[in-house]
Amino acid sequence: MTTLRLGIAGLGTVGCGLLVLLRDNKAIIEQRAGCVLEVTAVAARDRSRDRGIDLSGIAWADDARGLATRDDVDVVVELIGGEDGIALDLVRDAVGAGKHVVTANKALLAVHGTEIARLADVNGVHVGYEAAVAGGIPIVKALREGLAGNRIKRLYGILNGTSNYILTQMGQHGAPFADVLAEAQELGYAEADPTLDIGGGDAAHKLAILTSLAFGRPVDFAGVHVEGIQQVTPEDIAFAAELGFDVKLLGIAEETDHGIAQRVHPCMVPLNANIAHVNGVFNAVEVESDQADVTTYVGRGAGGGPTASAVAADIIDIARGLRLPLFNMPAGELRDQPGAPMDRRFGCYYICLHVVDQPGVIADISAILRDHAISLESLLQRGRDPGERVPVVLTTHDTEEAAMMEALKRIAALDVMIEQPRMIRIENL
């Protein structure tokens, strides 16, 4: 039996998880790969750290970039992370040296994916990146292989488990955002600096990759509209439930009359939608295509085991001889399709207003919406408390985002407004 030699850069949660997986599932992996998978070299920042794994007999590279040129490495596994620096150098050098690459680095591919795709085509190598998007969910393989004969119309999903956990806890327990975030950090679901997760950046990296794969266009991370969950309140989630919705942070990519839309933001989704029932740290992606209709993928989006599983799947594909273009077609054939401006988004909206309870308030708000051709679908007002603060919740029929944003500016300027209006887009899923 032949041997495929691996060089692993990065021995954090995923790197160590991969070593454990390759050890514990050695026999079944070799049967499925048709060859022996041997880790011949590793690299990490701290050589002295006890990782609880036997690394004897494995060469240690003091500079991870050296894995790209080692004669005893056939496949470079990049698990360092970060869009630039050593990770980028390593991937560039490895692909340039004709070595196959497997990476879990979403930021790297979201920013430099098109360049890496071109370099991989020139050098005839395979770049696997299943672990870069949604952890253990095989969504990249589904788009790259299972749905290769389909025209993709739209894909959307919960692409960040931290945000999904926070929204789930807020909804189930009515706890404020800050309290749930602190709990998520204590449990290890959120980083000490959670900005990428709660601000939508992590989901945006993943969406940019999926958009290129689904629609055959160069990666356009800068073109993703990004909003986080920091402004969502338990009150919003409670009103959503009353209206027949749940609140999720979604990444959405779709063909529109104005180009390819890429957007990450909180959404109200119908309670009867599959994705509304994906809670906690789980991820989910749904793909709408012309032949397969709607396919749904659910699983753990992070963690050592699920992510290592995805890395191993890519390595096994390489062992089997799979060679695919990074984004499902040669890089030179990716089409520069225009991006759809966010202000052309057409759909329904939820608006929560806190106003002084006095005569004429609803009339003034309704007049502003009328001026912008925005039609109301429903209005909720809880109780009466003349001269005091009361919440008013509105939902609209379909309207263009530009009109909604202009109307919100005028509403926010009314003297009766106690705080800034909160708006959440309603998605018809």
Which residues are marked as active site?
Answer: 206
Place of tokens 């909160």: 422
Helix, strand and coil content of the chain, in percent to the nearest 5, comes to: 40, 25, 35
In total, the chain counts a number of residues equal to 429
Please state, in angstroms and rounded to a whole number, the distance separating the CA atoms of residues 329 and 310. 22
The two structure tokens encoding residue 237: 């989630």
Residue 321 carries which side chain, given as an amino acid letter?
G
Q: What are phi and psi of 348, to 5 degrees?
A: -95, 160
Please state, in angstroms and rounded to a whole number, the distance separating the CA atoms of residues 372 and 384. 28
Please state, in angstroms and rounded to a whole number, the distance separating the CA atoms of residues 225 and 208. 10
Q: What is the DSSP string of 130-195?
A: GGGSSTTS-HHHIIIIITTTS-EEEEEEE--HHHHHHHHHHHHH---HHHHHHHHHHTTSS-SS-H
Please state, in angstroms and rounded to a whole number, the distance separating the CA atoms of residues 355 and 417. 5
Please state, in angstroms and rounded to a whole number, the distance separating the CA atoms of residues 11 and 51. 8
The DSSP secondary-structure symbol of 69 reads G
- How many Å is the maximal CA-CA distance in the chain? 83
Coil/strand/helix, residue 402: helix
